[in-house]
A = this chain, B = another copy of it.
Amino acid sequence: MAPATRLHILTPEAIEKLRSVTTATLTSQLLKRGFRNTFISGLTPLRPDLRMVGYAFTLRYVPAREDVGFYVDYDNATNVQRLAVEGVGPEDVLVIDARSEVRGASFGHIIATRIMRRGAAGLVTDGGLRDSPRFRLLDLPTYFRGPHAATSSVIHHPVDMNVPIGCGGVLVMPGDVVMGDAEGVVIVPATVAEEVAHEADEQEKTEEYIVQRIQAGESIRGIYPLNEQHRSEYEAWRAQHRRKGKP
């Protein structure tokens, strides 16, 4: 039961940039570095209006069995889920490996309220959530596979925290950077997160220019991707932009 580890801490600038770029841009940057499988498919945001940036605090569930913590009143001193709830800290994103199981919940809104109060940056599960309508009222970026009213213990229960897990078919290492927007969640390996944040921001500036040109009626030929001629035009636009005090 190791605490969350953060081998790499992002600079405030990188965090700022991660708050503005999209998961789409991040996966492009990760693909350039050889990472093919970093976006978690099949999740729905319960607060699509919020951005999520934080470090992975992982929680692993296994199938339930009648002799293993089944039907018990939760003992907050030993129950792994409860230890995790009181272990999560500021900037942590609690990421749950619920084995993509949606025939039961994997978390509820009362303990979610608690991790929010503890400073958690978000909640991600590849399983179900109960009281999901109330999650829509909670100021915590939350992603799940689907609603389920039933408490989880009949279906599965947590046994480990801060170990490598799979979430929706994607590897999550404790301390990885977790970013979410209205599209979904991307896991950014900690070792490349700082660099990726900065280059993603650059990429988005270029794409902003490209979209403007295309909205103005131009063909994608030469524009997307930029050929040499258009790249120098873009550089000029970018420079001018900067002079106006824009980032």
Contact = CB atoms under 8 A, between A and B. Distances in A.
Given A114-B214, A171-B64, A85 B147 contact: no
A102 B42 contact: yes
Interface string A199-240: 000000001001100110101111011000000000000000
A132 to B, nearest CB: 5
A37 B67 CA distance: 11
Contact of A37 (B24, B64, B108, B166): B64
A154 to B, nearest CB: 5
Interface string A139-177: 000000011111100101001100111100111010000
Interface in A68-125: 68, 71, 73-74, 76-77, 82, 85-86, 99, 102-103, 105, 108, 110-111, 113-114, 117
A151 B28 contact: yes
B148 A41 contact: yes
B148 A219 contact: no
Contacts of A182: 132-133
Given A24-B131, A62-B164, A224-B110, A117 B67 contact: no
A54 interface: no
A39 interface: yes
Given A42-B146, A133-B182, A67 B189 contact: yes
B133 A183 contact: yes
B86 A220 contact: yes
A210 B109 CA distance: 11
Contacts of A184: 147-149
Interface of A: 22-24, 26-28, 31, 34-39, 41-42, 48, 62-68, 71, 73-74, 76-77, 82, 85-86, 99, 102-103, 105, 108, 110-111, 113-114, 117, 128, 130-133, 146-151, 154, 156, 159-160, 163-166, 169-171, 173, 181-184, 186, 189, 191-192, 207, 210-211, 214-215, 217, 219-222, 224-225
